[in-house]
Each structure stands twice: as C-alpha cells, then as structure tokens.
Chains A and B, each alone.
Chain A
Amino acid sequence: MSAPLAVQVVPAAAASRIGKAGFVIGIAIVAVVAAAALFGNALLPADPFTQDLGNRLKPPFWMDGTESAHPLGTDQLGRDYLARLVYGARISLLIGIMTVIASGLIGITLGVLGGFFGGRVDDVVLFAITTRLSIPVVLVALAVVGLLGSGLGLVVATLGLLLWDRFAVVARATTMQVRTLDYVSAAWCAGASTAHILVKEILPNIASHLAVVATLEMALAILLEAALSFLGLGVPPPLPSWGLMIAEGKDYMFFSPWVIMIPGVALFTLVLGINLVGDGLRNLLGTERLR
C-alpha cells in the first residue's frame, strides 16, 4: 500500500536526458531524410532511372569491386542505388505526409465532433470507429489496389481512408476532456459560435496530442506503403519505392545482400526517427501538463 515513492529504476533526470537525446536524434534523422528527398536528386550526378546492364549489381563502397561512380553500388538493372534510395525517400515521405493529412482530416473532424456534441453524434462516430477497426487494413488495401490498379495517388487515398481511427479516438477523448473546462464554458457564455469554440478553443489545446498521433500514423503509413510495394501492389515500377527496391532485390539477396540491406536499413532508420520524434513530443507534452 505505502510503497516508498522514491523507487525509480532510472533516475528522472537521466531518463529525461535520454529522452531528449532520442528526440534530437529523431529530428536529425527525419531532417536528413527530408533534405535528401528534397535536394538529393538535384545534387547527385546519377539518374535513378538510367539502366546500364553492363554494370549490374555492383557492390557498395565498403566492399570489393566498387565503381567510384556508384557509391552504393547498382541494382539488377545497373541503376545507381544511391540515386534510387534518395528518390525512394521522396516517395516514402510523400506518402507518409499525404496519408497523415488525409487521415488526420477525417479522424480529427469525426473525433472532435463526437467528443464535443456527445449523444447521438458520438454514437455515430463511435460506430464509424468500430466499423473501421473491424476492417483489416492490409487486406482492403490489397483488394483496392488489385481492383483499381496501383499508383501513388491510389495508395495515399486508400491508406488515408483507412488509417484515421487513432486520430478519431485520440481527438474524441481529448475533446471530451477539454470541453468541460471552464474556458470552454466561458466562451459558450460569451456567445461564441460553435465553430469558434471547436476551432479556436478546443483544437489548439488538443493539437499537441494529435501531433504525437500524426508521427505514429506517418511511420505506419510508410511501413504499409513499403509492404504494399513489396507485394507489387504499391507504387508501380520503375518508381523507386524502398519497399519495391526490397522486392526487386530479393531474388539476388544470397549473392548481393546489399540490394535489400540498404533500402531495409533506410526504412528502419526513417521509421525509428519518426517514432523518436513522436516520443519526444509526448515527453514535452508530459511536462507541459504540469503547467
């Protein structure tokens, strides 16, 4: 019952230092990937689409037999692997960001409305969330892409329409918390419109929670896109998505393991970085709640 409160495995100060370091590393990773996605292909001499069958499966710089023109080697069609990796970052981030925007719009709207109005509106929102949670994301994504053909826009639309549930759950719960606070009551008594109360009084005060969800969803969307591309149902070739690069390389992995290792490590690092940013945001939020 009365356990001493001082017992902590990691002292709080050290834990917060580790948390801060993680946040900084996460931001650095995401910043590097974003910079590569934005400027990489403009700076690199090699083109991600030019094939050179005489130079197939050249190894990266830390192995023997490297071509100096291809620091990360070439793939099974002789295309420069660094250029393809950098172009793939663009695709991954684009899909992550677009999916978060689409699913965030849907989820936050539903969640805030349900949480604020309660009653029948909330019943409808809860039913929508339950329905959505009972749909297996990967199966539906596969079916849609299989029926309508693959493409960047279609992947974004499918994932955006499927990944809004966590936004809705978090937006609904935090809105329910905030709407009972006195400043919302005061805005109501001041005669403010419902739209003003939702957008100016509630949304800014739940935004930090939603930012954490956004990072999680972005990481999830990037992984799902890679999975879909790996199955050949995501981004169509010759666009170099990281998942597609792994899929194309898997036939050569026993003799040229770097062709799946390089995009695999890139995927792992980016998702780790995004999740570190999410954790850091949550920690910032935790101290903020103490005022």
Chain B
Amino acid sequence: MSAIEVANLRREFRVRSGLFAADKHVIAVDDVTFGVPAGGVLGIVGESGCGKSTLARLILGLLTPTSGSALVEGKRLFALDRKARARLIQPVFQDPFASLNPRRLVKDIVALPLAAQGTFTRGEIARRVATILERVGLSAEMGDRMPAQLSGGQRQRAAIARALVLEPRIVICDEPTSALDVSVQAQILNLLADLRRDLGLTYIFISHNLAVVEHVASEVAVMYLGRIVERNETDALFRRPRHPYTQALLASVLTPEPGRGVPDVGLGDTLPDPANIPPGCRFHPRCRIAVERCRSVAPAPMVGAGGAMVECHLA
C-alpha cells in the first residue's frame, strides 16, 4: 500500500521575455509519476534546475500543479484545504536559518501546526511541544529561546520538531542537511532515520548529494529537466544504473583519494535550459551514446520487474 501516489504531475511556468517577444513556457515538472510505500524513503536526485524543488513545492501545496494528481491515504491531496493537508504532509526545508521565523520563540514556532488546527487546548499544545522537542534531542528549556540563540544543528532539529508535532504521514525533506556543517549532517540524518522507524513515517528526500541519498533512501528517482528518467531500488540503481544520465551522475562523485582530479563524465559544460527542451530524448545533446532515433523520438518509460523504470531507447 502506497503512502503517497503521485500521477502525471505537471507544472508549467510562463516567463515574460520582453515587451514584444512571445512569452516562454518553462515546463519545470513534466508528467511525473511515482509512489512511495508506507515507511519507505524515496530519494530524488538531479542537477540544480531539474525541477526537484518545484516537485516538492507542488506536493506541499506551495504551488498549484498545471495538471496531475496526488493521493495520500486515498485522499486527493490537491482538493484538501490547508489544515487537512497539514495533518498528512509536512516539510523540512534546506536552510534552518531561513525556515524559522527570527521573531518568534522556538516553542511558538514548533507549536504552529497544532495552533493552526484550532482544536487543541493550550495545555495540550504545551505538552506536545515539550514531548516532541525532547524527541528530536532538544531540551524543553530551548523552547523559550529565539532561533538566533540556537546553532545550525539545533535549528534543524527544531524545524524537524515542527514538521512532526502534528504527526503527519509524510515528510518532504528538501535538502535537509546541505546547509549544515559536515559534523552535524550525520546527526540529523540519523535523527531522521530514527524518527522514521519509530513513528512509521514516509519520506520524500530531495538531495543532490548522492552519498546521502544512498545512505537514507530505499528507492531513488533521478530527475532530468523535469522528468523522472530512472527509478529503482537504491541498491540496484547504484550497482547497475541503466540510464546514461544516471551513469554520468554516479561517475561524477569525487573519489576519496586525493590527486585523482575531477572526473570527466562526458556531460559537457553546458547546463540544460528548461525553457528550451530538446526534441526527442531530452538528454540526447549531452548523451555520449545517443543514436539518430534519440534526436527525434522521445523514449517511453519502460517499467521492468519490481517497479524499476527507465526512459531510454538504449537501456
């Protein structure tokens, strides 16, 4: 049983390109379909600008989709009001310096999802906030501080406490560790893993850090220019990547040995432009094994055994 089921999600942006030029259409998220089993962790990886953060904002309701649907526990996510949606799904953002209101006490920040529901008494809210602060490794006394009095790691713990205080089913982690010191990253990742196990949560974990995704995800989706081009269980994807883009991404990880230099993955220097998506397979201009067919015919998703999916003529 899937905790969340996203189908054919699509979002276009219209970009003004000047007084006389025609508006451009940027397709940030194009026909994205995936499901995450309850208790699973779906890692979403891709370059900057591939649409992974837009995908997160669509699922969270911060953006409205152009088309598509998302089901959580059989409820249509995009038809729910904000309060009902908040009970199902909560975010943890990248930068804990930006995600906590600098003018409010930590306990008020953490209590906001409860207070917004309007069904909890003051005592109930205070009790739950104290419990969740303790659960994420902050003392209840830290609730009386301002965010500026907390370290980066403590702030991210407070942000996690806010996400979990309403006991949602799904947590969307948008690069939750990339703004933190390396020493703190592991603590936060372990905390997230513990919380998932203890509370039975489902994560959608967005990152550009492949090592982190390999560590936390049970399944990985690779996005390129708004589409999921490959999806597989973590072990299988890292052991035998099938899409040439996935292969290039994995090859781009720096080796721990110094002196080997930056690996050449054959992707070229030009970044893809979401306003100008190439015809055929959208990856073909950067693909080293592209053939004539790739330039004209878009590959259909090929679903294999165990739900593995790849979009490539040659895979």
Contact = CB atoms under 8 A, between A and B. Distances in A.
Contacts of A204: 101, 103-104
Interface residues of A, number: 18
A116 to B, nearest CB: 14
Contact of A186 (B91, B97, B115): B91
Interface stretch (B65-73, B82-90, B232-240, B271-279): B82-90
A189 to B, nearest CB: 5
B82 A191 contact: yes
Nearest to A196: B116
Contact of A189 (B60, B95, B101): B60
Contacts of B62: 185, 188-189
Interface string B45-64: 00000000000010011100
Interface string B105-139: 00001001101110000000000000000000000
B159 interface: yes
Nearest to B112: A190
B98 interface: yes
Contact of B85 (A186, A187, A191): A191
Interface string A185-226: 111111111001000110011000000000000000000000
Contact of A183 (B57, B60, B83, B99): B99
A182 B93 contact: yes
Contacts of B90: 189-190
Nearest to B114: A190
A191 B83 contact: yes
Chain B contact-residue range equals 20 to 34
A181 interface: yes
* Best-buried of A182, A187, A191 by chain B (most CB within 10 Å): A191
Given A188-B82, A190-B86, A182 B116 contact: no
A204 B101 CA distance: 9
B95 A190 contact: no
Contact of B99 (A186, A191, A192, A205): A186
A17 interface: no
B78 to A, nearest CB: 14
B100 interface: yes
Contacts of A120: none
A189 B82 CA distance: 7
A39 to B, nearest CB: 35
Given A182-B93, A185-B93, A192 B112 contact: yes
Nearest to B147: A183
Contacts of B87: 191
Contacts, number: 72
B102 interface: yes
A143 B95 CA distance: 54
Nearest to B109: A183
A284 B83 CA distance: 38
A186 B116 contact: no
B98 A190 contact: no
A173 B147 CA distance: 24
A200 B101 CA distance: 9
Contacts of A187: 101, 112, 116
Contacts of B89: 189
Contact of B113 (A183, A191, A200): A191
Interface string A146-189: 00000000000000000000000000000000000111011111
Contacts of B83: 191
A186 B93 contact: yes
Given A190-B113, A191-B117, A185 B91 contact: yes
Nearest to B81: A191
Contact of A191 (B98, B100, B103, B116): B116
B148 interface: yes
Contacts of A205: 101-103
A183 B98 contact: yes
Contacts of B100: 183
Nearest to A201: B101
B98 A189 contact: no
B282 interface: no
A193 B97 CA distance: 23
Nearest to A187: B112
B57 to A, nearest CB: 8
A283 to B, nearest CB: 19
A182 B102 contact: no
B97 A189 contact: no
B162 interface: yes
Contacts of B57: 185
Contact of A190 (B93, B104, B162): B162
A200 B113 CA distance: 14
B307 to A, nearest CB: 28
Contacts of A192: 82, 112, 115-116
Given A185-B60, A186-B159, 19 more contacts: A181-B98, A182-B93, A183-B109, A186-B99, A186-B162, A187-B112, A188-B82, A189-B60, A189-B61, A189-B89, A189-B90, A190-B162, A191-B82, A191-B87, A191-B116, A193-B116, A196-B116, A201-B101, A204-B101
6 contacts: A183-B100, A185-B91, A187-B116, A188-B61, A200-B101, A204-B103
Interface of A: 181-183, 185-193, 196, 200-201, 204-205, 291
